[in-house]
Each structure stands twice: as C-alpha cells, then as structure tokens.
Amino acid sequence: MFIIGITGGIGCGKSTVANICRDYGLPVIDADEISREVTSVGGAAISEIAESFGIHIIGQDGSLDREKMAEIVFGDRKSLDKLSRIVHRHVIEQIKIRTAKFKEEKSKALVLDVPIPVKDGFLDLCDQVWLIWTDDDLRIKRLNERGMGTEEARRRISFQMTRNDYESLSQVVIDNNGTEEELITKVRETLDEQLHMRGIKY
C-alpha cells in the first residue's frame, strides 16, 4: 500500500488537498478529525487534559473547551507542547490502528492528513510526504475569512514550523498561492504521476 502523507501549516490548504484526494478516490485518514474525537465528550484524551490543565478547560458538556484551551496554549510554548504530547499520542494510536485496517483490506493507496509531521505514526508510515504551502499574507487572509483576527493568525503561524522545517521532511512540495482550480490541477497531476509510477489505478 502506497501511503502519502499530507502536511503543512495553518491556512496553507492542507484540508483542501485532502478533499481533492478523496474526490480522486483515495481513502483519507484525517488527524484533525481524530483530534476532535479524542477531545470530545468521552474522548480518550479528556481526563488526561483535565488533569494537566485543570477541570475548568472542560466544557459543561464534557468536551474540551477549545477557546479556553487556545488562550492558554497559544500564549505559552510549554503549554502547547504539553497539550500536543497528550493529544498526539492518542491521535497517533488511532492513525496506526486505521492504517493497519486499510492494509488488511488490501487498499492500494492511502492518504494521511496530518498538520504536524511527527516521526512516530506519520513519517515512519508514509512512503512519500507532500508539503502544501502558501505565503503568509495569503494564509492570514484565508484565516481572516474563517473569522480569525490578523494578530491571532500571525501568532498561531509564529508557533508553527517554518517552510524550511517542513521541506526538510518532504519529498513533494505543492504551492498553493493560486486559485482552487489551479490547486486541483496540480494535485490531480501529481497523483496521476505518482500512482502511475507504482502501477496503481484509481
């Protein structure tokens, strides 16, 4: 099974690329979706997060209060790292379980959609890593359109890896500074090329 890992910073269009891959016919494991699952009501990471940060960051419904959590972690690198370690451990466990299931089902290819390219459970599983990248000004504009303020967008970007950091771990770089139509063309052409090289048809 050929495993493609998609990664990139906030506002770069990573999720859009994952959706293009879905439309192409490839199965996708979404780390953000799993992260929401493990921090939702009854989620595997909830008790550990409450123990580390206090019960006040758990909402009345029993799920993680994301706004309160963001106020803490995006102002303190140590807190962000602590939260990441907790959530990532549970996310990576699920990625491994779901990847193994696709292998058992004899899937020919799989896409892992993971924002942070961790070694265990991502880089060690992927045959090829794709970096989706957009210039900061456009990233901020996109985040503004999602309702995030400019200063908050800049702050979150500053806490993430740089392009050079991502590129050092990637084999394919897809520029996403153009239109969505241009991105669709780039992604489909890259999929055509990479899957054809391996004799995989979708």
pLDDT tens-digit profile of 53-71? 999 989 989 999 988 988 8
* Mean pLDDT across the chain: 94
Q: How far is CA 45 from CA 35, 49, 161, in A?
A: 9, 6, 24
Query: Are both 22 and 113 inside the same structural domain?
Result: yes
Give the domain-ending residue among 46, 78, 106: 106
116 and 187 housed in the same domain:
yes
Same domain, 21 and 115: yes
| 46 and 98 share one domain | yes
> Are 77 and 92 found together in one domain?
yes
Which of 192, 197, 176 minimizes the C-alpha distance to 11? 176
Cα separation, 189 vs 202, whole angstroms: 13
Domain termination site, one of 89, 106, 123: 106
Task: Please tell me whether residues 77 and 170 are part of one structural domain.
Answer: no
pLDDT, tens only, 107-128? 999 999 998 888 988 999 999 9
| Residue 5 domain boundaries | 1-27+109-195
What's the structural domain count of the chain?
A: 2
Q: How far is the first Cα of the chain from the last one, in angstroms, to the nearest whole number?
A: 13
Does position 80 have pLDDT exceeding 90, yes or no? Answer: no
Output the pLDDT for position 171. Answer: 97
**30: nearest Cα among 39, 40, 19, 20:** 19
pTM: 0.87
